[in-house]
Structure 1
């Protein structure tokens, strides 16, 4: 166990209806893609639509909920052994890979960027069809787990989110598809500038975590959970 500091998170999103049982968190994954081709590193971020009930107009990393199709999606490279082992320590077999695939799929759907390797065209259906039609398959080897956070029970929409990180050099291209779906605006933002944006609390913490991890890759990976509306229960993966 390390003594790396963690800041408490505060609940965000629509509150749970009084008397309603706590909502079961939905499995999700998001990826911080780091670009290092300038004087200072930049991270890919997007602004959520103002009409969303969950974190409207906030700047976030691309990502989203796991889909059943993510369990059977094709890929060019598999997870690194240490990454796979970390997922397997907490999840049912195959779910970690599906979460990683979900993060890559959502990056394509929301930001128009392929974290992938070029591959021959092949048949595909469902949400993976537009991705595979680009002549590319997911590059799971590019991903590293940096943290996990579970939304507190007091919130009406809850997520059990795995935060991943990848280098922008693993993108098939820096040229993105113009139609970026859910995210209203996409930008490569320096870490210091990102902190001035309207961010969810957990996103702000993950930016700090990414900065620290770039300096010390061996630092422990936070696992943030909650007992109630006021108290966090920080631990490490």
Structure 2
């Protein structure tokens, strides 16, 4: 029987700290009563909101990553998904990916971001992984994972006071210890990819894509398509 659960676009942010010495990633624990992945440790992220399409970015996603993220989908997703990623990181951790600047008319869920004196910027994000939630789950997402170096965060890396408390126990976890935590399967797969990339700041040659759109799981590599230059 075909799974009728709607698949929502989603964006996730992997913030990598101390990559040259003892690499650590920022993760938090979902509540025990959460409908999706209860009690699991995950990266900040969530579903795309309709308003993400209207968010002005001070700087876009790099062209290479934009081409790969747009493979097989509408080109505007190269703007919408990074905006969603930056918003989710801000909401769930209080961390800012942005450039200093005035932002007049910021939406309600971006007011704190704007009041801190920043405009959202996607220039430091790298698109590194895509995965669709398998059939049979209560919620399904077409999730794009973005990697960003912690040095690109504009505010205090250890101050999570402005987060919305959707994630509990926010902490920087060494990659060498992360397997001790309760992790979703796909998070384990992504972490293995990140561990291989920790020493290399350049974007990956191609992006892994676990597609579970139908009953059959397939693995693909996204090489991207040329994006128009301004």
2:227 matched residue in structure 1: none
Alpha-carbon distance between aligned partners in 2 of 1:87 and 1:39, rounded to the nearest angstrom: 30
2:27 aligned with 1:39: no
Alpha-carbon distance between aligned partners in 2 of 1:188 and 1:43, rounded to the nearest angstrom: 5
3-state SS of 1:90 partner: coil
Q: Which runs of 5+ in 1 are unaligned?
A: 1-18
Question: 1:221 and 1:126, CA in 2 relative to 1: closer, same or farther beyond 3 A?
Answer: same
2:211 matched residue in structure 1: 225
2:127 matched residue in structure 1: 145
2:220 aligned with 1:235: yes
Q: CA RMSD in A?
A: 1.9
Q: 1:188 aligns with which of 168, 172, 193?
A: 172
Alpha-carbon distance between aligned partners in 2 of 1:21 and 1:167, rounded to the nearest angstrom: 37
Using the TM superposition, give the Cα deviation of residue 50 of structure 1 relative to its aligned residue in structure 2, in angstroms.
1.4
Query: Would the aligned equivalents of 2:127 and 2:144 in 1 still touch at CA under 8 Å?
Result: yes
Query: Would the aligned equivalents of 1:33 and 1:44 in 2 still touch at CA under 8 Å?
Result: yes
Query: Would the aligned equivalents of 2:19 and 2:198 in 1 still touch at CA under 8 Å?
Result: no
Alpha-carbon distance between aligned partners in 2 of 1:20 and 1:210, rounded to the nearest angstrom: 33
Using the TM superposition, give the Cα deviation of residue 175 of structure 1 relative to its aligned residue in structure 2, in angstroms.
4.5
Alpha-carbon distance between aligned partners in 2 of 1:104 and 1:176, rounded to the nearest angstrom: 17
Aligned length: 217
Compute the TM-score of the two structures, normalised by the length of structure 2. Answer: 0.87
Using the TM superposition, give the Cα deviation of residue 128 of structure 1 relative to its aligned residue in structure 2, in angstroms.
2.2
Query: Would the aligned equivalents of 1:213 and 1:219 in 2 still touch at CA under 8 Å?
Result: no
Question: 1:219 and 1:83, CA in 2 relative to 1: closer, same or farther beyond 3 A?
Answer: closer
Using the TM superposition, give the Cα deviation of residue 64 of structure 1 relative to its aligned residue in structure 2, in angstroms.
0.6
Q: Which runs of 5+ in 2 are unaligned?
A: 223-230
1:67 matched residue in structure 2: 49
Alpha-carbon distance between aligned partners in 2 of 1:37 and 1:22, rounded to the nearest angstrom: 41
Using the TM superposition, give the Cα deviation of residue 120 of structure 1 relative to its aligned residue in structure 2, in angstroms.
2.2
Q: Residues 149-200 of structure 1: CA distance to partner in whole angstroms, max 9, x if unpaired?
A: 0011222210000011000111002243414220111101111211110000
Using the TM superposition, give the Cα deviation of residue 140 of structure 1 relative to its aligned residue in structure 2, in angstroms.
0.2
Using the TM superposition, give the Cα deviation of residue 78 of structure 1 relative to its aligned residue in structure 2, in angstroms.
1.1
Compute the TM-score of the two structures, normalised by the length of structure 1. Answer: 0.85
3-state SS of 2:139 partner: coil
Alpha-carbon distance between aligned partners in 2 of 1:196 and 1:42, rounded to the nearest angstrom: 14
